[in-house]
Amino acid sequence: MCAIFGSPNPQSFLNLYEINKHRGGYSYSIMYFDKNLKVLNIIQSYDEFPTNVEKSGTSYYLGHIQAPTDGIGSRCKIHPAHLGADYLYHNGQIKSRSIEPGIWDTEFILSRLLEGHTVDYNKALHDLDGSFACIHINTTLNSIKMFTNQTCALHSSNLDISSTKADGFRRLSPCTIYNFDYTGITVESEFDNIDRTYFIPTKKE
């Protein structure tokens, strides 16, 4: 199990860590953004989550904590997955039979998103078998997109986001691509997903 959380306020960010920390303590990462959503720094560590965060020039804090679902020491890597200018944070688990050999599930999702010349979320996600709540960051465009399927959740209140629902937060609609910027969190498009995380084949007589 993992958690994703973020806030433009450093104390609110640390408070969101507190309500999410039961979801993972194996590793953490923090991504720091300026007012234009340019990535300033990424901290990735197996140490304890910090009790304070960098403040100079930072206008948004995005965090991820992890308790690997595939077993410590197997395919576990510290989030986010990173390919070129793109980063992906992922909470959930993709069924192992869906994943290409040699990569971890978060990198697998990101590689699918980047298969074409432009990102086609519907094509990449419609047959993705498992549970996922993701934040996709492109550092060339300074863009942040958020999306989940039915079996994984992200919640928001103004510009704060959290895997664990806090007071005053609402769940983002599943199978929806949201654009994040300092004007708010807005719907960009929708996608289909097979959503078969708990699918059990009927036993043949």
Q: Residues 6 or more apart from 120 whose CB is under 8 A from it?
A: none
Q: What is the pLDDT of residue 178?
A: 98
Burial code of 38-76, b = ≥16 C-beta within 10 A, e = fewer? ebeebeeeeeebeeebeeeebbbbbbbbbebbeeeeebb
- The pLDDT value recorded for residue 74 is 43
Q: Report whether 166 contacts 147 (CB < 8 A).
A: no
| Cβ contacts of 60 within 8 Å, gap of 6 or more | 6, 7, 8, 32, 33, 37, 159
- Report the pLDDT value the prediction gives residue 103, as an integer from 0 to 100: 82
pLDDT digits (tens, 9 = 90+) for 85-121: 999 999 998 887 667 667 888 999 999 999 988 999 9
15, burial (CB in 10 Å: exposed 0-12, middle 13-18, buried 19+):
middle
Q: Please state the domain extents for the chain.
A: 2-190
Gap between the Cα atoms of 95 and 17, Å rounded = 27
Domain range 2-190, CATH class: alpha beta
Contact criterion met (CB below 8 Å) for 132 and 149: yes
Residues in the chain where the model's pLDDT stays below 70: 68-76, 97-98, 100-101, 196-205
